[in-house]
Chains A and B, each alone.
Chain A
Amino acid sequence: MTVPADNTETPLDVAAIKADFPLLNRQVNGHQIVYLDSGATSQKPRQVIDTLDRYYEEINANVHRGAYHIAEQATSATEEARAHLQCFIGAPSPREVIFTKNATEAINLVAYSWGRANLNEGDSILITALEHHANIVPWQQLAAERGIEIRWLPLTDDGRLDLADLEQMLDGVSLFAFSAASNVLGTLTPVRRLADAAHAAGALCLVDASQAVPHLPTDVTAWDCDFMVFTGHKMCGPTGIGVLWGRAELLDAMPPFLGGGEMILNVTREGFIPNELPWKFEAGTPPIAEIIGLGAAVSYLEAIGMDAVRAHEVALTDYALRTLNERHGDDLAIHGPADTDERGGVLSICYRDVHPHDLSQVLDQRGICVRAGHHCAKPLMKLLGVGATARASIYIYNDESDVDLLSDVLAEAGEFFSHQPA
């Protein structure tokens, strides 16, 4: 009998998955592309690209308007995608699934609609030190307008949320808005525990799950959160499509965000009556192709299985942390939790004193795509004491050979920028 290989073996046939992604076939700077920037956006499988083509070639028509055949097909494909998304995230009703441009717009929707209806001077909200700008700036805009207080939940030294004073920090707070997974540190936060703490304090909670939904099974009912946002393009879907999920009674009570077509039941010279959920929050012609494309992305991920996606990423992250640290030792710092149970496949790297921008330039020469910069999380970068990091982030189409090449080229970059005279 063999010893169970916990965290060490991927359940995925990565070669077969890679073959689904046309872009991963191309060469960059004379080398086969190695895409390690899925934290910024994922690549798209043939199945999603074909779905977009088929929409435009066969059923392109505006939705919820025409009574003709293809308009009905476009409308039903859009609403089928919504129902599919509902099941994918464990939501009780498709009425609660609002299509937005991206996660940023979804948070802005809550800040403008719920925030402006419910928050006034003297009120406060709690966010965390690891938030993306998308979950900071909308609240700062609200704070500037309404005089509300923004509190920041601190981090532990290894990049997890410091929950020691959570109850005190939640005291008197109206909303707790936090990420399910950090786009810089990879940290997975204890969503259910945070939601319970928020509710115990009488606050609502909003979960920015942009870095979680593509990578782990998601169940808003099990999370017991109030709002949850994510974006389509990080999970094999098209750009320009995101989702706000919210509890129906909250969404029903909120005023519309953007006004226009689609979001009304009736308009007269005197005023308008807003539409029902979810269309109340979907003013104008929606991104129909992108909605249907996101539905195809969900089908693609479901066929693999989100448990298998997570197991693959745990195994590969474990491999990356182990091999990179073994080979590069003190030359390399990887921010965030060391335990793969508490992190996703986002590796923010500092290598010797090579600036991340220079590091990514050298990696690019070998066809390796990583993100260099502040990752739209400047307050977190300041806390980490760095201006920028190079971030390698993995997904279903990455394997150990990608990590090995990254490791080799890190060493080459170190040589190139070595402070020793050449």
Chain B
Amino acid sequence: MTAVNVPDKPKINYLNCDKTIKSWLLTLDHKRIGIMYLISTLTAFFIGGMLAEVIRTQLLVPKGLIFHATKHMSSFAAYKHYNQVFTLHGIIMVFMVLIPIIVASLGNLVIPLLLGAKDVAFPRLNLMSFYLYVAGAAMAIISTIAGAVDTGWTFYTPFSIQSETYVCWMVGGIVLIGFSSIFTGINFIVTIHKMRPPGMTWFRMPLFLWGIYATSIIQVAATPVIGVTLLLLILERTMHIGFFNAALGGSPVLFQDFFWFYSHPAVYIMILPAMAIISEIVPTFSRKHIFGYEFIAFSSLAIALIGFLVWGHHMFVNGQSAELDTIFSLLTFLVAVPSAVKVFNWLATMYKGAIKLDTPMLYALSFIILFTVGGLTGVVLGCIAEDVVLHDTYFVVGHFHYVMFGGTIIAFLGGLHYWWPKFTGKMYNETMGRITCVLLFIGVNVTFFPQLIVGAEGMPRRYASYLPQYQPYMIASTVGAYIQLVAFLMMAGYLLHSIFRGKKAPDNPWGGATLEWTTASPPSHYNFDDTPLVIEDCYDYSNVKYDESIGGYVRTDVPPKTEPATPPEMTPAHT
């Protein structure tokens, strides 16, 4: 351990400094926690994705290919299994994948690196939030084995009170995952406030940090409400407390209000870090300064704030007053403005830039296109008159998959490919990366665009069977889902290949100007040998030049450095 920072042994890094299993499971190192989050969320993503393939296969034929009436089973009993499958798909994807996949895994991996810090502010809290996530996932698995939930991921009362499945275990697991999310949010807010290196003012921060900061605010401010709501749901089922049960004088609509008060801001927990990644990738691969830095920074905060005031647009058709509908509709349109500001700023950044179409940039371009489709269909749904028609149809399914898959997951994959050389120290096969990205882009569109059409034609969501006239669209959508599966298998192949056989990555393979590219790939246990001093702009690429001999970029100026106040060896707080 003492040899970590000795400069003449550069091969010792955070991955190989201590190889015991205990050193991983009890680590307080943000990078290792990030890797563990990455593995956990990707496992959850695999399970959720497989459930999606089951759903799409079921919908190949109008009566249902997998779950349908047989000699031994009524169609009612068979379709209940379909309900369980789509519920699990929704719960896993929303609570275990989309919310932590960027913030907790990539955020943990790179936030202290972007800040030039040795760790996040509260490393123990960080490990605790990881284990809360694991415990929550374990409870969800228990619930699934004992009797998988069939309520839909929204747990609407009164059905979630009456359902005979293991709702309490599932909801309890989500409460734990919620606490994990709160602690991650607190950790990152404090890290960004208190751990910035000398010279890094708020407006010299990389935009990724602005995005994460806005996300963390939502996590801290919205998640407690879902916590108390789901706790009330548990009490409702176990103690019949009657808050959400009309039979006991309660109000089911109150549950919906509470639920969406969290769950609408939660979609911004998912999309803001995605936008934050794009704001890093686009300038780096355009070799051009980001356009409108302050606008991008403040639009993140604007999205976070307005996002709290739009939850009523999920409830246009459940008896909300017309005045409230109008206000929520207006605020919903408003939230589209800062989102569009970001899109225009990325486009303006690319304009007249020297664009390199490497894999991360291809993902960023896919994101911009897919997110625009998803965002615009969201505006369509924000119109009250249209929402009354389209509510609970496949149009809604298509819309949020464009935003969540085409937005969050595509941006996550962009970030994963962007920082992969940094935290694994290996380069993946660039050609395979590009082919896979294009294939995935095609797959996403083939899957979800037909859903927009079939929804506009009136096909309701969550049905296990459908009218024969919708079949062509459903087949197209299923083919798209299979294309995505192939793309993901290819990706798993070349990424795993890179870990074992990949070329060694240079410190700065893409020519980024932010701090994480100034340290080694993979970084040492303490990230930086000296606390960096930030005086230059982190989007100024004029001094970052390609060096043929190392296959990566180097800074032509020598950035000034400061000596650390205490050498890291003096205070070895963790291993």
Partners in one complex: no
Interface residues of A (CB under 8 A from B): none
Interface residues of B (CB under 8 A from A): none
